[in-house]
Amino acid sequence: MLKKNIILLAIASLFLISHAAEALPPAETRTLERAQRYAELGRIDEAIKIIEPLLSRFPNDLRLLVSAHRIYLEAKDYENALKILDMQKKVSINGGRLYLDYADIFLKMGEMESADSAFQLYIRERGGGSPAYREISQAYLNNGYYAQATQIYLDGREKLMDSTQFALELGNLYQRQRQYGSAAREYFKFMVSDTAMHRTGEAQLRFLINNADDVEELKEAFGDIITSYPDRYQSYQFYAELMIREGQYDSAFENYKIVDSLHFKNGQHLYGFAEACLNDQEYEMAAKTCRYLLKKYPEQGYRERAQLSLAEALIKLGQPDSAVNVYHQVIESSPSPKLKFDGEYLLGILYLEELYQSDSARHYFNRILNTPQMQPWAEMVKIKIAESYIIDNDLDTADSIFLAINTNRLKNDMKEELLFKRAQIKFFKQEYTDARGLYNHLTGLYPRSMYVNDCLRKMLIIDENQGTDVIDLDIYADAERLLWQNEADSALTKLVDLSGRGSSNLSAMATFLAGEILYEKGEYQQALQYFNRVLESFEESFYSAESQKYLGDLYYYHFNDHEKAREAYRVILENYPNKVLYEYARRQLRKIESS
């Protein structure tokens, strides 16, 4: 049978003849359409019974033959499908395309040699160009032959004498076969060979870096890429990004130095790395990178940005006084009004939220208001001035400032912040009806706001604790106000008291917040007890996922118990759909595995 098929195909390649097709009469055309509908509905046997009499009467009708071919394929009747193709080649002027159809049937029958012969005839008929290899590879793919689909591209690349040909297609195929190293090599080859598709290549490589499960294979591949493309900055950049994924920030830093020396040469890539470190809570490395950038480029464009990032890292490292000095450098030396504003504004935020020195914070905020070039940011600064009065427990003054702000000059995120803080003032003043109304207004007006979850939680505890339970709600409102005013010890006393009062949502909030305060105070064993209590006693509360995250952080950063940290982070992956926490847990698990 194989020899017969191969001989028939060879003869067909030399003597393809076009015959005038016989047109089906209208009645028979309607009959054929009925057969096609049956086939679409899965009623294949009925479709075959309809078309067989038509085939005997109209063996040269091309439309009938094409439909019959499809129906027999659906029926997996490959012998009859081949016979239909034999009939079709007598009337078709597209003989080359038929070779693909023959090959498709041979693949379905498992007759690989016959399929290969048909493919070779197709390549010859098409002149051997790249489209022919793409169609053949797709035919293999359609039948589940991934290795053969890959090999046909490699053969085509050799025949066409172009080592970059089919790089994107090969990358996709290798990726589907979980051969991530080979995929990375092909994607990089594609990226550097086709500048018009540069972003596509970058996106594919970054997908591999973020999602491939065989990191060692990727490391080896990027090492090969660096060897093959030593002058391409992307070689080192992608390797550095892989190191970040693995938590190997020292190695990433060294590679970003090379990236910087090959591209831009102004600190842009180093600044991007510092920002990534801040995002990953690698504050020491962020500070180290910023200092290196500032030393190498003391007068270039990323100086002020690096200074601002350095100040942020110093704050996180518990060095606010050093951060103050850095902010002053930005204010005094930057020629940019926007960067000067950033320095003034962030310095005010530092005094407000880290040092709780409201007078000093207002001093810098008022300097912004009194500077004409900074007027575009005046309304957002007034929000912070109002907040400074909350710290002073002057809630009425804070609310009056909020009410006087021209919200038309604010972006939506600032409008959300203003509305939330007005609601908080009402909550702190224990005016719960007004507070609930503002929380509800915010959730309706900005349903995707970052404050929505907080608003929903507040509305829940307000609804649950009216009447005789309002005393507990008053205690909680006082505790939260004290916390805003940096009276953490006084707030903690109230929260600990509430934590032991039953299993309400209010108790859950108090327990979680007590754990957070203890964590910030460095009392990690006690913090662990409170987060465990949230998970044990308030399993369905809003705070279980965050408590699980704190458990992982406690074991990883403070107790040096990587096994328990791994277990805690895995629970987040398995039980909690929160996207932000999910990505955080994945990143932490990578750090653990690479340490």
Domains and CATH numbers, the chain: 163-263 (1.25.40.10), 497-594 (1.25.40.10)
Q: How confident is the model at residue 591, as a pLDDT? A: 86
Least Cα distance to 324 among 289, 299, 360, 276 occurs for 360
Rounded CA-CA distance 443/456 in Å is 8
Q: How confident is the model at residue 301, as a pLDDT? A: 80
Confidence grade of residue 9 (pLDDT, cut at 50, 70, 90): very low
What's the mean pLDDT when you consider all of the chain? 93
Whether the Cβ atoms of residue 277 and residue 283 lie closer than 8 Å to each other: yes
**Angle, helix 303-316 to helix 320-333, in steps of 10 degrees:** 160
Residues 6+ positions from 443 with CB-CB distance below 8 Å? 449, 452, 455, 456
- As a whole number, mean pLDDT of residues 366-386 equals 96
Residue 456 has pLDDT above 70, yes or no: yes
In degrees, to the nearest 5, what angle opens at C-alpha 20 toward C-alphas 16 and 21?
105
Element (H, E) at 493: helix 488-499
Block residue for tokens 């489209």: 131
Q: How confident is the model at residue 84, as a pLDDT? A: 97
Q: How confident is the model at residue 166, as a pLDDT? A: 97
Q: How confident is the model at residue 353, as a pLDDT? A: 94
Q: How confident is the model at residue 75, as a pLDDT? A: 96
Q: How confident is the model at residue 15, as a pLDDT? A: 38
pLDDT tens, residue by residue, 114-126: 999 999 999 999 9
Whether the Cβ atoms of residue 337 and residue 373 lie closer than 8 Å to each other: yes
Residue 21 has pLDDT above 60, yes or no: no
- As a whole number, mean pLDDT of residues 513-524 equals 97
pLDDT tens, residue by residue, 330-374: 999 999 999 999 999 999 999 999 999 999 999 999 999 999 999
Whether the Cβ atoms of residue 595 and residue 566 lie closer than 8 Å to each other: no
Least Cα distance to 479 among 420, 555, 427 occurs for 427
The pTM of the full predicted model, rounded to 2 decimals, is 0.83
Rounded CA-CA distance 594/216 in Å is 11
- Specify the amino acid at residue 178: R
Block residue for tokens 């598709």: 197
In the chain, count H helices and then E strands: 33, 0
Rounded CA-CA distance 213/179 in Å is 10
> Six-digit token pair at 44?
């294949």
* Residue 406: Cβ within 10 Å count: 9
Rounded CA-CA distance 206/188 in Å is 11
Q: How confident is the model at residue 22, as a pLDDT? A: 57
- As a whole number, mean pLDDT of residues 565-586 equals 93
- As a whole number, mean pLDDT of residues 70-99 equals 92
Q: How confident is the model at residue 595, as a pLDDT? A: 77
Whether the Cβ atoms of residue 156 and residue 165 lie closer than 8 Å to each other: yes
Rg (CA), the chain: 35
Residues 6+ positions from 462 with CB-CB distance below 8 Å? 432, 435, 436, 473
Tell me which range, 190-199, 503-512, 519-528, is most confidently predicted by mean pLDDT: 519-528
Q: In terms of C-beta distances under 8 Å and separation of at least 24 residues, what long-range contacts does 203-206 make, across chains too?
A: 204/168, 204/171, 204/172, 204/175, 205/238, 206/238, 206/241
Residue 155 has pLDDT above 90, yes or no: yes
Rounded CA-CA distance 578/549 in Å is 11
